[in-house]
């Protein structure tokens, strides 16, 4: 059985890291797994870069990009999350169809496969979702409400307020519906929440949707390090209560809930008399950092997993204040390092955090409840130790590479036996 994972990247961002971990888990499990990417950040010989276009095609491609920019003139939306309209591909269709892979496993495919390209693939397709783009228009995340367009259809009369100009999201959704009408996707969602959204979407209403979490090498890489050792290595204070926050790319993304976190930090100062400081990774120190109600330590962008392990191990807990999230790698990594997680009870966070057993799930967007969860963990060292042990145990059992690889292997076998 030969599996080819198609992804824009193998390391640049949460989706890329998750897709690469799935690939490596399969290799360790004994499956012939390879990756085709547009941008390679690893030295893995099983990861190949999509062939570059010839000079003539590159010239035409540049003209095409300018034309796309022209078609988007006047478009505006208040949805500040990333939008991709799926018009650009790396001309891989013939290569993928002629290759020896038995199954194509798609991941985050911006600029490597266009909407039209996906419709032309002739191999069995497993699509691992890392956000909502596959069943939306151009949006990677939209509000999960009953009247969401992915559930009702992208009609002229249900365009969101605050959006004007050409309805590019509707155009993209219609392009997907036309191009994929004969495709039979098998969908994998890392979280129960995203699986529910996919099943309720018009585009994937007939697709088989499975829930398989992203794997983690919890025994070899993601494991606890003595707290004081980690703090000394990172130059962090030994005798403070440290709260870890951050994400790949930092907290600048409005979906990550930075303002809610700041509000919770202010309330924490009133609720907890201890010496509490925050450690932030994923971004450099911004100019407005002095507006935070507690001291901050900035680790900057962290690309080395060993440094992340130190950061998780140095912290008393981690806060994930996302407004919307699939199955954030940071929460799983933190728990594998024995660090309890405090988060809002939204998206895929309930798949990771067991309330009052491995962390705290606050009522959605209630910053008082978020602060209460932080205090509940920080005020009792014995309780924090029990949460830490439970978090580590769950991460090893639920997200282990062998467990996830076995689930993917079974899925691939079933697809091939029915093809």
CA dist., res. 298 & res. 286, Å (int): 10
Question: Cα separations (Å) of 196 from 82, 137, 186, 268, 347?
Answer: 22, 18, 14, 34, 10
* pLDDT of 4 strictly over 60: yes
Mean pLDDT in the chain? 91
Note whether 177 and 325 are same-domain residues. Answer: no
Under the banding of pLDDT at 50, 70 and 90, the label for residue 59 is low
Angle at 98 between CA 405 and CA 88, to 5 degrees: 85
Note whether 137 and 260 are same-domain residues. Answer: no
pLDDT higher at 310 or 78: 310
Note whether 70 and 203 are same-domain residues. Answer: yes
191 sits in the region (left: phi over 0; alpha: psi -120 to 50; else beta) called: beta
CA dist., res. 183 & res. 370, Å (int): 43
pLDDT higher at 77 or 5: 5
pLDDT higher at 47 or 74: 47
Note whether 407 and 387 are same-domain residues. Answer: no
262 within some domain: yes
Give the side-chain half-sphere CA count within 13 A for 164: 2
Best CA proximity match to 217, nearest among 372, 396, 37, 405: 396
* pLDDT of 396 strictly over 70: yes
Here the tokens at position 225 are 């390090």
Note whether 295 and 205 are same-domain residues. Answer: no
Range in 138-147, 291-300, 376-385 the model is least confident about = 291-300
279 within some domain: yes
Note whether 188 and 271 are same-domain residues. Answer: no
Note whether 408 and 291 are same-domain residues. Answer: no
- Break the chain down into helix, strand, coil percent, rounded to 5: 40, 15, 40
Note whether 9 and 90 are same-domain residues. Answer: yes
Note whether 131 and 257 are same-domain residues. Answer: no
- Whether the model clears a pTM of 0.85, i.e. scores above it, the answer is yes
Which of 90-99's residues contact partners 24+ apart within 8 Å by CB, and which partners? 90/38, 90/50, 90/51, 90/53, 91/53, 91/57, 92/6, 92/36, 92/50, 92/51, 92/117, 93/117, 93/120, 93/121, 95/51, 96/4, 96/6, 96/36, 96/121, 96/123, 97/121, 97/122, 97/123, 99/4
222 within some domain: no
Under the banding of pLDDT at 50, 70 and 90, the label for residue 67 is low
For the chain, how many structural domains are there in total?
2
The burial class, CB within 10 Å (0-12 / 13-18 / 19+), for 199 is middle
pLDDT of residue 60: 58
CA dist., res. 399 & res. 215, Å (int): 5
pLDDT of residue 344: 98
User: In this predicted model, what pLDDT tens digit does every residue of 144-197 receive, in sequence order?
Assistant: 999 999 999 999 999 998 899 999 999 999 999 999 999 999 999 999 999 999
Q: What are phi and psi of 126, to 5 degrees?
A: -105, 130
24 within some domain: yes
pLDDT higher at 288 or 180: 180
CATH of the domain at 10: 3.40.50.2000
Note whether 62 and 198 are same-domain residues. Answer: yes
221 within some domain: no
Could you tell me the residue range of the domain that residue 340 belongs to?
227-398
Note whether 134 and 12 are same-domain residues. Answer: yes
CA dist., res. 74 & res. 366, Å (int): 36
Q: What is the mean pLDDT of residues 337-344?
A: 98
Buried b (16+ CB within 10 A) or exposed e, 210-224: bbbbbbbbbeeebbb
Note whether 236 and 355 are same-domain residues. Answer: yes
DSSP-derived secondary structure letter, 354: P
Best CA proximity match to 5, nearest among 34, 31, 30: 34
pLDDT of residue 321: 95
pLDDT of residue 288: 66
220 within some domain: no
131 within some domain: yes
Question: In angstroms, how far is the first alpha carbon of the chain from the final one?
Answer: 13
* pLDDT of 133 strictly over 80: yes
Question: Cα separations (Å) of 49 from 5, 34, 59, 92, 383?
Answer: 12, 11, 20, 11, 48
Under the banding of pLDDT at 50, 70 and 90, the label for residue 113 is very high
* pLDDT of 62 strictly over 90: no
């Amino acid at each position: 059985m030969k599996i080819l994972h198609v992804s824009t990247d193998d390391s640049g961002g949460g989706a890329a890291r998750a897709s690469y971990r799935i690939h490596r888990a399969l290799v360790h499990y004994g499956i012939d797994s390879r990756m085709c990417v547009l941008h390679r950040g690893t030295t893995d010989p099983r990861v190949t870069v999509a062939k570059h276009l010839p000079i003539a095609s590159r010239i035409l491609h540049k003209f095409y990009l300018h034309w796309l920019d022209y078609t988007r003139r006047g478009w505006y939306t208040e949805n500040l999350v990333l939008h991709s309209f799926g018009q650009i591909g790396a001309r891989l269709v013939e290569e993928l169809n002629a290759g020896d892979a038995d199954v194509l496993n798609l991941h985050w495919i911006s600029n490597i496969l266009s909407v039209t390209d996906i419709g032309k693939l002739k191999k069995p397709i497993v699509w691992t979702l890392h956000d909502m783009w596959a069943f939306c228009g151009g949006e990677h995340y939209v509000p999960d409400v009953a009247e969401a367009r992915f559930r009702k259809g992208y009609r002229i009369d249900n365009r969101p307020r605050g959006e004007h100009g050409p309805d590019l999201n509707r155009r993209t959704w219609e392009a997907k519906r036309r191009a994929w009408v004969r495709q039979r996707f098998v969908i994998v969602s890392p979280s129960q929440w995203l699986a529910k959204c996919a099943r309720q979407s018009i585009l994937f209403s007939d697709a088989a949707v499975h829930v398989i979490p992203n794997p983690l090498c919890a025994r070899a890489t993601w494991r606890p390090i003595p707290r004081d050792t980690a703090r000394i290595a990172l130059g962090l204070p030994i005798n403070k209560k440290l709260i870890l926050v951050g994400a790949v790319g930092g907290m600048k993304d409005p979906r990550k809930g930075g303002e809610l976190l700041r509000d919770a930090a202010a309330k924490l100062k009133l609720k907890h008399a201890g010496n509490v400081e925050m450690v932030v990774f994923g971004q450099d120190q911004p100019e407005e950092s002095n507006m935070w109600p507690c001291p901050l330590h900035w680790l900057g962008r962290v690309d080395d997993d060993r440094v992340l392990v130190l950061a998780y191990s140095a912290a008393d807990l981690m806060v994930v204040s996302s407004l919307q999230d699939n199955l954030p790698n940071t929460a799983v990594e933190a728990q594998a390092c024995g660090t309890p997680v405090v988060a809002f009870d939204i998206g895929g966070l309930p798949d990771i955090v067991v309330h009052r057993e491995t962390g705290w799930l606050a009522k959605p967007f209630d910053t008082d409840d978020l602060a209460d969860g932080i205090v509940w963990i920080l005020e009792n060292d014995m309780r924090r130790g029990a949460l830490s042990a439970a978090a580590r145990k769950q991460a090893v059992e639920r997200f282990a590479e062998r467990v996830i690889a076995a689930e993917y292997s079974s899925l691939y076998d079933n697809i091939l036996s029915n093809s």
